[in-house]
């Protein structure tokens, strides 16, 4: 995909740096390319649901993060990205020491981007899909939204 902002990498990094929640979760971003972002999560006790697996809320939060930052690679300088809606399907329980996440822009538009993501882990060489998501991200013009860190 062709970025719309020649400083897209700096812009996304700037946004990531201001995002407190991904830091608290421990999601590390591994690669950032136009239209695609990947990350990794080392499983910790705080991520557990009631059976000791990866909590679905951690999964959906990570889906939102990699999709949202993938969308940020495809906007103009100072445009904002907001999640309009997101659906997550949980394919398999998340039972692993480490999880991998990939988010990408399926179709970049003027008003919104359609994004997708997957969370998986490795069992030997086999890739086990924990969840897949589809998201509508709104692209908002600079100046329309007012927030603490804009």
Which spans of this chain sit near its own copies (rule: CB under 8 A)? 15-16, 18-25, 45-53, 55-58, 60-62, 64-65, 68, 80, 82-93, 106-107, 111-112, 114, 129, 132, 134, 136, 138, 145, 147-150
- Residue 6 vs 146, nearer CB to its own copies: 146
- How near is the Cβ of 130 to its own copies at its closest, in Å? 11
Beta bridge partners of 54: 48
- How near is the Cβ of 46 to its own copies at its closest, in Å? 4
Q: Residue 52 — φ and ψ, nearest 5°?
A: 90, 5
- How near is the Cβ of 80 to its own copies at its closest, in Å? 7
Q: 134 vs 63, 88, 109, 142, CA distance in Å? A: 9, 7, 15, 25
Q: Which residue, 62, 61, 74, 58, is CA-closest to 114?
A: 74
């Amino acid at each position: 995909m062709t970025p719309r902002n020649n400083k897209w990498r700096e812009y996304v990094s700037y946004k990531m740096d201001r995002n407190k929640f991904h830091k608290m979760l421990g999601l590390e971003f591994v690669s950032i390319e136009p239209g695609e972002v990947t990350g990794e999560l080392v499983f910790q006790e705080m991520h557990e649901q009631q059976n000791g697996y990866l909590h679905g809320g951690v999964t959906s939060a990570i889906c939102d993060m990699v999709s949202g930052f993938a969308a940020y690679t495809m906007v103009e300088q100072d445009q904002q990205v907001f999640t309009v809606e997101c659906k997550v399907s949980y394919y398999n329980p998340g039972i692993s020491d480490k999880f991998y996440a990939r988010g990408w822009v399926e179709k970049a538009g003027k008003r919104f981007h359609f994004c997708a993501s997957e969370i998986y882990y490795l069992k030997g060489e086999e890739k086990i899909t924990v969840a897949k998501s589809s998201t509508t991200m709104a692209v908002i013009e600079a100046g329309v939204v007012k927030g603490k860190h804009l």
